[in-house]
């Protein structure tokens, strides 16, 4: 049994404590089965119990409505834009922790210590093994080349993953270039943007397109699914870069809420998440890359290859999200 399977089996048996008895309460955009193994390890090590409320939307609005009465100590979410949104809404608080500052590289934490990244994922290209030479995939900019006409699939341009990539393009080249890039990318699409990242790989497997944009961790999720394994095995994971830059990455991250009724125990959880043990558990269960130096990705994730992350400041990406959305809508990318 693999480590991941063992962890997931433990998660399936875990019984969450009622909120009134929990020592740390978490609002999470990550599905419970993806974080419970990590929380079980935390409880085993510290004796501190946790309670998770899984949300699909409206986390910030819920925290605002609850105000000082909120039972939530921690928010756990994906994408820098969601973390930045929480900070801007005033529902988080800074955390002064030498442990977190030493363990989490500056590129993956807020300059004012409002949030901390715990794992990263790369926005890569999935490419048909039988139709695409890996050497053909070089840069994100090259996706507008006419050689890709009718060969690209992608999810909606308004999705947070796409907007983060567009924001990074604005950072590297400015809005005028990015507008033209979006037009060129749209012109090369095999179909209108639709579905999630796995749906794009399925389309490659079905011969509807040859390459797609996606997050690395979806490869692990597909390989773990009997139906989707065939899709995954039909593609290569390729790491394009920005011209004079690296591969686009985003994070999953954690922040302490402004109310945090159990602040001390919540801080212990945050510091635990930065430990090598927790980093490797979390990264393996989610097929992501740990952020703490010295922590290693799982053997499966490592098998996809190494890459150099783009050095753009994630806070800047969050600040450019509005401009990215405006350009996506201006070119009617999804139309």
State pLDDT tens for residues 110-133.
Answer: 999 999 999 999 999 999 999 999
Asked if residue 3 has pLDDT above 50, the reply is no
Q: pLDDT-based confidence at 16, cuts 50/70/90? A: very low
Burial pattern 232-248, b for ≥16 Cβ within 10 A else e, equals bebbbbbbbbbeebbbb
**How confident is the model at residue 225, as a pLDDT?**
95
Does residue 12 surpass a pLDDT of 90? no
Token pair 């990215």 in the structure block, residue: 324
Give tens-digit pLDDT for 71-109: 999 999 988 989 999 999 999 999 999 999 999 999 899
Q: How many Å apart are CA 308 and CA 147, to the nearest integer?
A: 26
Nearest to 308 by CA among 129, 111, 124: 124
Q: What is the dihedral of CA 65, 71, 76, 77, to 10 degrees?
A: -20
Per-residue pLDDT tens over the stretch 201-234: 999 999 999 999 999 999 999 999 999 999 999 9
Are the C-beta atoms of residues 208 and 166 closer than 8 Å to each other?
Answer: no
Query: What sign results for the dihedral spanned by CA atoms 104, 106, 107, 108?
Result: positive
Q: What is the pLDDT of residue 265?
A: 97
Residue range 22-44: average pLDDT? 89
Select from 167, 213, 160, 124 the least CA-distant residue to 314. Answer: 167
The length of the chain, given as a count of residues:
335
- Which stretches of the chain are DSSP H helices? 3-13, 32-46, 59-66, 80-88, 98-103, 160-173, 175-187, 197-205, 217-223, 229-233, 263-273, 276-286, 299-303, 314-319, 321-330
In angstroms, the CA 209 to CA 153 distance is 6
pLDDT for 20: 43
Q: Which domains does the chain have, with CATH numbers?
A: 3-119+251-297 (3.40.190.10), 121-248+308-330 (3.40.190.10)
Average pLDDT of the residues of the chain: 91
What pLDDT, in 10s, does the model give residues 130-151?
A: 999 999 999 999 999 999 999 9
Confidence of residue 22 (pLDDT cuts 50, 70, 90): low
Tokens 């390989």 correspond to 223
Q: Name the DSSP class of 189.
A: B
Question: Is pLDDT at 157 greater than 50 in this prediction?
Answer: yes
Quote the CA–CA distance of 168 and 79 in Å, as a whole number.
13
Q: pTM of the predicted model, to two decimals?
A: 0.86
* The pLDDT value given to residue 31: 81
**Does residue 34 carry a pLDDT above 50?**
yes
Average of per-residue pLDDT across 307-323:
92
- Which residues lie below 8 Å from residue 21, measured CB to CB, with a gap of 6+? 49, 51
- The CA distance from 90 to 66, in Å, is 13
* C-alpha–C-alpha distance, residues 1 and 4, integer Å: 8
What is the DSSP code string of 255-300?
Answer: EEESS-TTHHHHHHHHHHHTSHHHHHHHHHHHT-EE-STT----HH
């Amino acid at each position: 049994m693999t480590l991941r399977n063992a962890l997931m089996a433990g998660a399936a048996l875990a019984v969450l404590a009622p909120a009134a008895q929990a020592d740390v309460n978490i609002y999470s955009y990550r599905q419970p089965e993806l974080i419970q193994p990590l929380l079980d390890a935390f409880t085993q090590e510290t004796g501190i119990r946790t309670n998770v409320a899984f949300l699909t939307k409206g986390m910030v609005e819920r925290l605002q409505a609850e105000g000082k009465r909120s039972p939530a100590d921690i928010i756990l979410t994906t994408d820098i834009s969601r973390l930045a949104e929480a900070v801007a809404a005033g529902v988080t608080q800074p955390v002064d922790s030498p442990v977190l500052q030493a363990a989490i590289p500056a590129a993956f934490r807020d300059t004012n210590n409002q949030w901390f990244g715990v794992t990263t994922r790369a926005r890569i290209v999935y490419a048909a093994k039988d139709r695409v030479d890996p050497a053909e995939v070089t840069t994100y900019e090259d996706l507008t080349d006419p050689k890709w006409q009718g060969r690209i699939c992608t999810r909606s341009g308004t999705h947070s993953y796409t907007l983060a990539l567009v924001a990074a393009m604005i950072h590297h080249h400015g809005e005028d270039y990015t507008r033209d890039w979006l037009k060129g990318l749209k012109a090369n699409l095999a179909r209108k943007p639709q579905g999630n990242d796995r749906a794009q790989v399925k389309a490659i497997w079905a011969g509807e397109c040859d390459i797609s944009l996606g997050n690395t961790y979806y490869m692990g999720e597909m390989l773990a699914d009997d139906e989707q394994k065939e899709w995954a095995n039909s593609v290569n994971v390729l790491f394009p870069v920005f011209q004079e830059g690296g591969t686009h990455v985003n994070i999953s991250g954690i922040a302490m809420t402004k109310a945090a009724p159990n602040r001390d125990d919540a801080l212990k959880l945050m510091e635990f998440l930065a430990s090598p043990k927790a980093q490797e558990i979390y990264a393996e269960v989610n097929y992501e890359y740990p952020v703490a130096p010295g922590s290693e990705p799982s053997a499966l994730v490592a098998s996809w290859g190494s890459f150099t992350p783009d050095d753009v400041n994630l806070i800047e990406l969050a600040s450019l999200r509005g401009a990215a959305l405006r350009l996506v809508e201006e070119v009617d990318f999804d139309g």
